[in-house]
Structure 1
Amino acid sequence: MSDDRFDYWRLKLRALLWLLLGRLEAAAIAFGEMLALRPDDAYALASRAHVLAQLGRRDEAIRDAQRLISRHPTRSAADWFNLAFLLEGAGRSAEAEPAFRRALDLDPKLDRAWYGLGLVLIRLDRVDEAIAALKRNTELQPMSPYGWYQLARVYADRHDADEARKIIRHLQGFEPQVATQLQRETGLAP
């Protein structure tokens, strides 16, 4: 085994140990050392981006996520989703939209990407597109209340009380607390 390979695996084990012990800063440093050995390593880039995000260092996490997708654009829909999620969290909706769409190109059944795309489209005031994305999310995750909640809010904001009421009735069957919250927020009874 070459020294480079040995050093890489030693650093990887160190990073995993730090993660196991909850020492995120130390793990980020170990992933950085891995990247010093292999600057375009997908595992190290994805891992450091995740750790940096957990540490609240979003801009650095975004840089690593962008580097990851630029070097490995078809590796994983999750890579694009993670970048989109970080961008959306930073209020960069216009940049997050194409990243969510690319994630969906790679995996059309990635329900959380449909949900994220829906949220971004709401923020970009493209409500018809947001409705379509949220409907797709609810088709893929029919028992998750999140897409249903956002969809009901969009309908209520558009003054489409009938559609919002249908969703509230639907949610009463499996998420009564969310249905009650929507009733309270929208003033609509099922």
Structure 2
Amino acid sequence: MNEQAKLSLERARTAAGAGAVDEARAAYANAAVVDPEDPSLWSEQGIFLLDVARDPEAAIVAFRQSLAIRRTYADHYNLGNALLAVGRMEAALEEYDASIECKQDYAEAWTNRGIVLFNLTRHEQSRDSFERALEVNPRLANAWRCLRILLEELDENEAAVEASRHFAEIVENDGEAWLKYAAGAGKLLDEQVVRHEVEGPEERILAAVERALDLPLAPESRRWALVERIRRLQRLAHGRQSMARALNVPGLEVLRTVQRYREAAEQAAREVPDDPWLAEQLEDARELAGVRSE
């Protein structure tokens, strides 16, 4: 890279960092003009045009210029992203395939290939791409998220819930992700015979909801989580109490669950005092706790 190009590149980066998009765009263009045979200048310009200037058509031109000088897995991937942004699915697929040809273990390219195939309704090929991405990188959150969307589309709900759980565990501080998992798992469980094991599926759903409640949530999401926690605890408390009575065994776990139910109902009533359903559950929880304390 010649000195004039370096100076233009520095001006471009400084302007981009300051939010001066037009100035940065002109400086990137000038850098490529004064040293047109350096692929890194075209590549960086393309990333700026795609991610900052939000001009995918111009980014496509820049990435093609870079690739004409030197093929790299990164620029085939970047070009695929720009083509995907303008809806040119078949062309984007070609670029993701080229990226993978250059680098077989590029999980991000496998994931975006799967996104394109999903949009082309080539679902089995899409699934294969997401699974290949996860073979390479089992902790690639976006691949789990995309796989979950695909599995929901295919009505493979149990597998979709499992994918949702993996996604939540990876992005661990995203309360909405934990609620998405809890909602899917809860829907599956509600279609089955209710079980009340201490380490059973109801408890796992409850744990996800409680994890979400410890994290920042939108107001409506928090309200849903408060309701869902009470609903799950109510089922557990009444179910475990019935089992204990049938077996004529008091059960310390019953007492603990009833206490959890009452505390959750009291918290929800404090946070959402105008909800009549929550008020009813609070009355039920207190009555159940009173029965257990006699």
TM-score, L = length of structure 2: 0.51
Q: Secondary structure at the match of 1:128?
A: helix
Q: Secondary structure at the match of 1:143?
A: coil
Q: 2:62 matched to which residue of 1? A: 30
Aligned partner of 1:97 among 127, 138, 145:
127
Question: Bigger CA drift: 84-93 or 22-31?
Answer: 84-93
Aligned partner of 1:158 among 153, 176, 188:
188
Structure 1 counterpart of 2:72, one-letter code: D
Question: How big is the alpha-carbon RMSD for the aligned residues of Structure 1 and Structure 2?
Answer: 3.3
Equivalences for residues 1-190 of structure 1 within 5 A: 6=37, 8-9=39-40, 11-12=42-43, 14-15=45-46, 18-19=49-50, 21-38=53-70, 40-74=71-105, 76-160=106-190, 162=202, 164=205, 166-177=207-218, 178-181=221-224, 189=231
d(CA) in 2 for partners of 1:90, 1:181: 35
Answer yes or no: is the 8 Å Cα contact 1:88–1:120 preserved in 2.
Answer: yes
* Higher radius of gyration, 1 or 2: 2
d(CA) in 1 for partners of 2:127, 2:69: 33
Answer yes or no: is the 8 Å Cα contact 1:168–1:179 preserved in 2.
Answer: no
Identity of aligned residues (%): 21
d(CA) in 1 for partners of 2:37, 2:47: 15
Report the alpha carbon displacement of residue 28 of structure 1 after superposing the two structures with TM. 0.5
Per-residue Cα deviation, 1:7-58 (whole angstroms, up to 9, x for no partner): 53454355356455444312211222333444x4322211111112223333
User: What is the number of equivalent residue pairs in this alignment?
Assistant: 183
Answer yes or no: is the 8 Å Cα contact 1:52–1:61 preserved in 2.
Answer: yes
Per-residue Cα deviation, 1:102-158 (whole angstroms, up to 9, x for no partner): 111111222222222222222222222223222222222222134323322322432
Name the CA shift for 1:143/1:21 in 2 (closer, same or farther; >3 Å).
Answer: closer
Structure 2 counterpart of 1:58, one-letter code: M
Unaligned runs of 5+ in 2: 2-35, 195-201, 233-294
d(CA) in 1 for partners of 2:72, 2:125: 24
TM-score, L = length of structure 1: 0.73
Name the CA shift for 1:114/1:146 in 2 (closer, same or farther; >3 Å).
Answer: farther
d(CA) in 2 for partners of 1:82, 1:108: 15
Where relative contact order (Cα < 8 A, 6+ residues apart) is larger, the structure is 1
